[in-house]
């Protein structure tokens, strides 16, 4: 596809973003965004686009996806304040996601930048909007995960859905974009496509068979990859899959998470992409000339993250950067090469052509079933409240979602009989796209999907201690997530 030329680009940057500090030993360093900005300035790119300071995300913005109690916790949590261990576990505040000084301000900053960027696209003021501080794709409705506290991507997509009927989300971080996939697992208005390391690797989700549910069936696309993948192998699957996605889904806007931990030499990664190979994904998606939101994400070798996002800003602008790096504030980080490109390693590529072919064929078949699917009638343009309900999170996850009774999400129950050993652990998941009073029931101990049942009948069945024996519903349960829930249930902690 031929590129349509120059684009109007807006770039959001908060000067204070580099001051936030997760703590000693934590791999996530917001300082990388400041380094990127300095490099952009050195290359003269700031003069080629509109540079905007974001408005911090409001409480209303954050509550479009996140729960009241979780946001209240983030707002009040400080390292000086004694925090109950149960509360920390409830919200998954762990070593990866510590409470640090300025935590809530940080969340408001990066989330606000993504929402502002989406708003600029909605208003037609830019063709491409950039927020390198965003892209924190692991955060769930009521929990932090994998360095992510607030899911700015979900908030930005909800903003885009106010104007655009269909939004495509593409994730090239090495880790599966689980938080975004969960949030839109039930809708056909958002397609999520994630290219990620799969297997014994955080977060453990993103199986090729996880394809969405209900109206969202076939609108979640997962491309599981093995370690050592290089540019040639990556684009062997990326380009044909994304070409088919664009043909079948026909999105009105695209959100591209550009996690730089898929680069060669990343501190936490195991892929072998060059900066050019990584940026070719941006170049390819740019060529479709659809409103494009570029976000950051993972990336833990700071100098390579800054190199990557600077170069990709140039790609967005249609500017080829000299390899020799100009002088700038952080030039000392980039020695001894002082170049924009880094040399990939000679690590083994464990992705055989045969395995890539199998993955590609399976996913292209899935996408073929969607041919012309968006021509069916969509719902009327939703209000903010309607969007919150209709694009509700398919929140399968761990202990706090099993233990909490969250409206329109999970309802737990445990079958037991007057002190006798429990028969099973059941989970009720509301399906707002089907009927607000119905949901899927799962037997977590026996790893069974039992079926669709009205909530009142489900509670009654538990109250009389009867095993549930219901007709199986059609659909696809993310087994990788269910497995983790099952392990937790078997641990006896609930």
Domain ranges of the chain: 9-375, 396-490
Instruction: Report residue 74: phi and psi, to 5°.
Output: -60, -35
Provide mean pLDDT across the span 427-448.
47
Rounded to the nearest angstrom, the gap between the alpha carbon of residue 140 and the centroid of all alpha carbons in its chain is 9
Name which residue leads in pLDDT, 275 or 213: 275
Is residue 138 annotated as a catalytic residue, yes or no?
A: yes
β-sheet bridge partners, residue 221? 193
pLDDT digits (tens, 9 = 90+) for 77-93: 999 988 899 999 999 99
Query: What does pTM read for this prediction?
Result: 0.79
Provide mean pLDDT across the span 376-399.
38
Superfamily of domain 9-375: Histone deacetylase domain (3.40.800.20)
pLDDT digits (tens, 9 = 90+) for 388-422: 443 333 333 322 332 332 223 222 333 333 333 33
Name which residue leads in pLDDT, 83 or 238: 238
What is the band of 239 on the pLDDT scale with cuts at 50, 70, 90?
A: very high
Catalytic residue (one of 37, 137, 138, 399): 138
Q: Write out the DSSP string of 12-31.
A: E--TTGGG----TT-S--TH
pLDDT surpassing 80 at residue 485 = no
pLDDT digits (tens, 9 = 90+) for 320-375: 999 999 999 999 999 999 999 998 899 999 999 999 999 999 999 999 988 555 44
Name which residue leads in pLDDT, 214 or 452: 214
pLDDT digits (tens, 9 = 90+) for 130-157: 999 999 999 999 999 999 999 999 999 9
Give the three-class secondary structure for 435: strand
Q: What is the pLDDT, as a whole number, of residue 81?
A: 86
């Amino acid at each position: 596809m031929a590129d349509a030329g120059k684009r109007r680009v807006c770039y959001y940057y908060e000067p204070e973003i580099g001051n936030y500090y997760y703590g000693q030993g934590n791999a996530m360093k917001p300082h990388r965004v400041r380094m990127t900005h300095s490099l952009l300035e050195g290359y003269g790119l700031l003069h080629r686009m509109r540079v905007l300071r974001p408005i911090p995300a409001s409480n209303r913005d954050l509550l479009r996806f996140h729960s009241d109690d979780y946001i209240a916790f983030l707002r009040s949590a400080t390292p000086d304040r004694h925090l109950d261990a149960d509360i920390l576990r409830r919200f998954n505040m762990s070593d990866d996601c510590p409470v640090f000084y300025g935590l809530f301000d940080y969340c408001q900053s990066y989330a606000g930048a993504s929402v502002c960027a989406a708003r600029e696209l909605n208003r037609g003021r830019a063709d491409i909007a950039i927020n390198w501080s965003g892209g924190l794709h692991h955060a769930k409705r009521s929990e932090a995960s994998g360095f992510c506290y607030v899911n700015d991507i979900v908030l930005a997509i909800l903003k885009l859905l106010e104007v655009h009927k269909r939004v495509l989300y593409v994730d090239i971080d090495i880790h599966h974009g689980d938080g975004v996939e969960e949030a839109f697992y039930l809708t056909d208005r958002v397609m999520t496509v994630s290219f990620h390391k799969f297997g014994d690797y955080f977060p453990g989700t993103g199986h090729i068979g996880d394809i969405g549910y209900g109206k969202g069936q076939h609108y979640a696309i997962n491309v599981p990859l093995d370690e050592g993948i290089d540019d040639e192998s990556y684009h062997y699957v990326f380009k044909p899959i994304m070409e088919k996605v664009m043909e079948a889904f026909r999105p009105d806007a695209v959100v591209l998470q550009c996690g730089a931990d898929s680069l060669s030499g990343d501190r936490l990664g195991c892929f072998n992409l060059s900066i050019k190979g990584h940026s070719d994904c941006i170049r390819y998606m740019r060529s479709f000339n659809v409103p494009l939101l570029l976000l950051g994400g993972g990336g833990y070798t700071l100098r390579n993250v800054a190199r990557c996002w600077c170069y990709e800003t140039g790609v967005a602008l249609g500017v080829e950067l000299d390899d020799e790096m100009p002088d700038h504030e952080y030039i000392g980080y980039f020695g001894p090469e002082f170049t924009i490109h880094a040399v990939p390693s000679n690590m083994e590529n464990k992705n055989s052509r045969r395995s890539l072919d199998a993955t590609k064929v399976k996913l292209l078949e899935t996408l073929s079933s969607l041919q012309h699917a968006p021509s069916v009638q969509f719902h009327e343009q939703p209000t903010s409240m309607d969007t919150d309900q209709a694009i509700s999170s398919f929140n399968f996850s761990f202990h706090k979602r099993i233990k909490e009774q969250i409206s329109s999400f999970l309802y737990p129950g445990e079958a037991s009989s007057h002190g006798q050993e429990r028969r099973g652990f059941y989970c009720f998941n509301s399906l707002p796209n089907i009927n607000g009073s119905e949901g899927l029931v799962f037997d977590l101990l026996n790893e069974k999907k039992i079926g669709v049942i009205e909530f009142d009948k489900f509670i009654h069945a538990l109250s009389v201690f009867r095993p549930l024996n219901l007709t199986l519903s059609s659909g696809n349960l993310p087994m990788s997530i269910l497995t983790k829930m099952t392990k937790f249930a078997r641990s006896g902690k609930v």
